Structure 1
Amino acid sequence: MEVREVALAPGEPYDLRLTGRGARGYVWTWRVTGDADAVSVSEGPQPPEPEGALLAGATVERVYVVRGRVAGRARIRFAQVRPPYPDEAPLDEFVLDVVVS
């Protein structure tokens, strides 16, 4: 699991790119802890898919926009899961620590 820290000003966006495995049924989910009001998270505009990217088992890059809102410190845990199997462990996880000041 990778952990990264970023510092943002209120209103400042940060584009986070994660490798997706949608062809295998996996999606990225996220949970914000700490000062949850300090940030917002949304799916960003997705990059165009390269030729042949939709082949079975192909990986596709996903973009998520983390935006600073108010001063605080938040931790965002992204987990790559298959929704039909909620008891299955995540395939991958990524943690983003965000300081907004």
Structure 2
Amino acid sequence: MEVREVTLAPGEPYELRLTGRGARGYVWTWRVSGDADAVSVAEGPPAGAAEPALPGATVERVYAVSGRAAGRARIRFAQVRPPYPDEAPYDEFVLDVTVSGAGG
């Protein structure tokens, strides 16, 4: 599991790219802990979405993380297969975000 730390100002975006395994039934989910109101997370279109992916190919997923208010949040991404909720994640990624009080 990789852990990355970033510092953002309120309103500042951060783009995170994670390798997807959708052809194998895996999706990335995320959970925010700590100061959950300090950040927002949104999934964007897959990287290279203009080009069709080959069958069985991995597709890079893009997530936009933005600072909202001063605080510290931990975002835990887990790659899981929804039909099997008791199965351990295939992969995990943790993003520790510090949002500064005013403009970085």
Which TM class, normalised by the smaller chain length? over 0.9
TM-score, normalized by length of structure 2? 0.90
AA at the equivalent of 2:27: V
AA at the equivalent of 1:11: G
More off after superposition, 15-24 vs 42-51: 42-51
- Alpha-carbon distance in 2 for matches of 1:11, 1:69: 6
The percent identity for this pair of structures is 83
Q: Deviations over 1:68-99 (max 9, x none)?
A: 00000000000000000000000000000000
Alignment of 1:10-89 (within 5 A): 10-49=10-49, 53-56=53-56, 58-89=57-88
Given that residues 75 and 96 in structure 1 are in contact (C-alpha distance below 8 angstroms), is that contact kept between their aligned partners in structure 2?
yes
Q: How far off its partner does 1:52 sit?
A: 7.0
Unaligned runs of 5+ in 1: none
Given that residues 72 and 99 in structure 2 are in contact (C-alpha distance below 8 angstroms), is that contact kept between their aligned partners in structure 1?
yes
Q: How far off its partner does 1:53 sit?
A: 2.9
User: How many residue pairs get matched?
Assistant: 100
- Alpha-carbon distance in 1 for matches of 2:55, 2:46: 18
Q: How far off its partner does 1:51 sit?
A: 6.3
- Alpha-carbon distance in 2 for matches of 1:51, 1:67: 27
TM-score, normalized by length of structure 1? 0.93
- Alpha-carbon distance in 1 for matches of 2:46, 2:93: 19
AA at the equivalent of 1:25: G
AA at the equivalent of 2:37: D
Unaligned runs of 5+ in 2: none
RMSD: 1.5
